[in-house]
Amino acid sequence: MPGLTSAAPRRGAGFIRAVHAVSTVCGWIAAAFTVIALFVTCHMIFVRAVLGQSTIWQTEAVIYLMIAATTIGLPYVQKLRGHVNVDLIPLMLPPRARMVLAYVTLLATLAVIMLLAWHSLHIWTEAFDRNWKSSTVWAPPLWVPYLALPIGFGLYVLQLLADLVGLATGHEAPFGARDIEAPLGAGEA
């Protein structure tokens, strides 16, 4: 068995489980948006190629759906550790340095994503208050697709906070390297 288990619940476990559940729902929503975008694309191709008619709303709807899928899916991908990363350096570091790097990385990511969440909320508020509409023939109100941005980035911040709590309470190892105790190559002659 890797690691010791305790009968007493660890601090932060409920928060982490709740955020992971929300992130999983986000993953399902993002997948649904992607599937809907696929069907809308097929509809657009059918209307143009088979019926010979022009399309009005499909291209724009697919763009908005894919942006929503991307931003709403951020927390789920973070939960799975699916974002692109380079783990060679962290795995070569001693445990203490790896922990410091994990905190620095999480805090820097939190700062950037919080900034994106704030600015996307500002853009959404402006679009809602000023009743912005797309400049296309379809002309949907832009606050609807823009809403995915602050929601997605906000939930991503929540997942990053859960990761930070997991790191601080020992629920998660930095960079998933719980069993690595020495840098690669240490002990080799």
Whether 76 is covered by a domain: the verdict is yes
Q: Say which DSSP state 184 is in.
A: T
Q: Give the pLDDT of residue 88.
A: 84
108: exposed, middle or buried (Cβ count in 10 Å: 0-12, 13-18, 19+): exposed
Whether 29 is covered by a domain: the verdict is yes
| Cα–Cα nearest to 93, from 182, 4, 6 | 182
Q: How many domains does the chain have?
A: 1
Q: Give the pLDDT of residue 53.
A: 94
Whether 7 is covered by a domain: the verdict is no
Report the b/e string of 6-21 with b at 16+ CB within 10 A.
eeeeeebeebbeebbe
Whether 8 is covered by a domain: the verdict is no
Q: Give the pLDDT of residue 186.
A: 46
Q: Give the pLDDT of residue 9.
A: 56
Predicted confidence pLDDT, tens digits, the chain (189 residues): 445 454 445 677 999 999 999 999 999 999 999 999 999 999 999 999 999 999 999 999 999 999 999 999 999 999 998 887 777 888 889 999 999 999 999 999 999 999 999 999 999 999 999 999 999 999 999 999 999 999 999 999 999 999 999 999 999 888 877 755 544 444 444
Whether 158 is covered by a domain: the verdict is yes
Whether 136 is covered by a domain: the verdict is yes
- pTM, to two decimals: 0.85
Residue type, 100: V
The answer to whether the Cα torsion of 114, 160, 182, 170 is positive or negative is positive
Whether 103 is covered by a domain: the verdict is yes
Domain coverage including residue 156 = 13-176
| Cα–Cα nearest to 3, from 178, 177, 180 | 178
